[in-house]
Amino acid sequence: MAGEAQAGGKKKLIIIAVLAVVLLGGAGAGAWFFFGSSSPEPETAQSGSASSAAPAAVESAYYVILPQPFIFNVTGDARDRLVQVKVQLMVRGDRNEAIARQHIPLIESTLLQTFGAATVEQLRTPTGRLDLRSQSLAAVQDALVKVSGRQAVERVLFTGFVMQ
């Protein structure tokens, strides 16, 4: 009787040891599969073209708050409306932030010209406001390229929009 109990205990111990070895082997194979690589990187074969096509490291995003909201009139079908827009500019990196802060009067003037060309019908719809935002971005980038040689601004954000 005692011999049968010992044989059963040894069988359980052997089964547990085999399962542990199989699980550890599977975990090792999975880690090798996910983290290891047996083939060389394609960049090493094409070092000249791959290094020039590789994207630059993405710099931190900064937000430049324009000091005053824009208040302007827009023409409409029945009557003119008064619009107030608060704007922030998203830039990448310290250099672009400095350029945007240095040229705030130019940016404000450019945005005011762009906003002045809008109509009530355009500003009533969400797609119209998105179009105005993309037009604003293009106008600001063009103006900054002319004075600084860089676009500097990545996005124009409307953080407040009121139309009466």
pLDDT tens-digit map of 113-146 = 999 888 888 888 899 999 999 999 999 999 999 9
Q: Do residues 67 and 126 share a domain?
A: yes
Rg of the chain over Cα atoms, rounded to whole angstroms, equals: 31
Q: Do residues 90 and 140 share a domain?
A: yes
Number of domains, the chain? 2
Higher pLDDT, 32 or 45: 32
Q: Do residues 13 and 66 share a domain?
A: no
Q: Are 84 and 162 in contact (CB under 8 A)?
A: yes
Q: Are 73 and 80 in contact (CB under 8 A)?
A: yes
53, 71, 96 — which closes off a domain? 53
What CATH number is given to the structural domain containing 126?
3.30.479
Q: Do residues 42 and 113 share a domain?
A: no
Range 93-125 burial, b when 16+ CB lie within 10 A, else e: eeebbebbeebeebbbebbeebbeebebebbee
pLDDT at 38 over 90: no
Question: Residue 139 and residue 135: Cα distance in Å, rounded?
Answer: 6
pLDDT at 79 over 90: no
Q: Do residues 156 and 97 share a domain?
A: yes
Q: Do residues 7 and 49 share a domain?
A: yes
Q: Do residues 46 and 65 share a domain?
A: no
Mean pLDDT of 23-34: 65
Q: What does the pLDDT read at residue 33?
A: 59
Q: What does the pLDDT read at residue 4?
A: 57
Lowest mean pLDDT among 41-45, 105-109, 116-120, 129-133: 41-45
Q: Tell me the pTM.
A: 0.62
Q: Do residues 80 and 150 share a domain?
A: yes
Q: What is the residue range of 30's domain?
A: 2-53
In the structure, what pLDDT confidence band is assigned to residue 63 with cuts at 50, 70 and 90? Answer: very high
Q: Do residues 134 and 66 share a domain?
A: yes
